[in-house]
Amino acid sequence: MQVYLLKDVEKVGIQGSVVKVSDGFADNFLIPRKLAVKITDGNKSFYLEKKQKEQVHAEVLNSKAAMFAERIKTLHLTIKERAHDDGKLYGSVGADEVVELLKEKDIQINRKQVEFDKAVRKIGEHKITIKISSKLKPQLTLKVVALD
């Protein structure tokens, strides 16, 4: 039996896909839990058309995310922090400071999206990763300078 998945189902498929499953699995598990809808001859074209629209929408979102990632890759941020004479900072630069610097550049991200390779505790240039999605992880350059 062919069904249109309304939600992601582990080991079956993702939301919006048309998959073939056994009749019993569809009738006893997927349809009663509102995880899928049975595809008949009457509604087949409707769900296939819906699937195409969702694919186009997903492609648009992916292209916007890719453009956002390219914009982040080109950024070079500078932050002034208090430092010792040997170049070590009194504290460390955290995700909140990076989010604020990006907000000044009209880029809105969550602090959980900021990933450090290692803690930023010295003056100099550091690479910081911004996690947009599981596949898109652009890096930007953060330059830490001593506060006069």
Do 91 and 81 form a contact (C-beta atoms < 8 A)?
yes
Residue-wise pLDDT for 90-135, tens only, equals: 999 999 999 999 999 999 999 999 999 899 999 999 999 999 888 8
Calculate the dihedral angle through the C-alpha atoms of 52, 57, 62, 65, rounding to the nearest 10 degrees: 180
pTM for this prediction: 0.63
Residue-wise pLDDT for 26-57, tens only, equals: 999 999 999 999 998 888 888 888 888 888 88
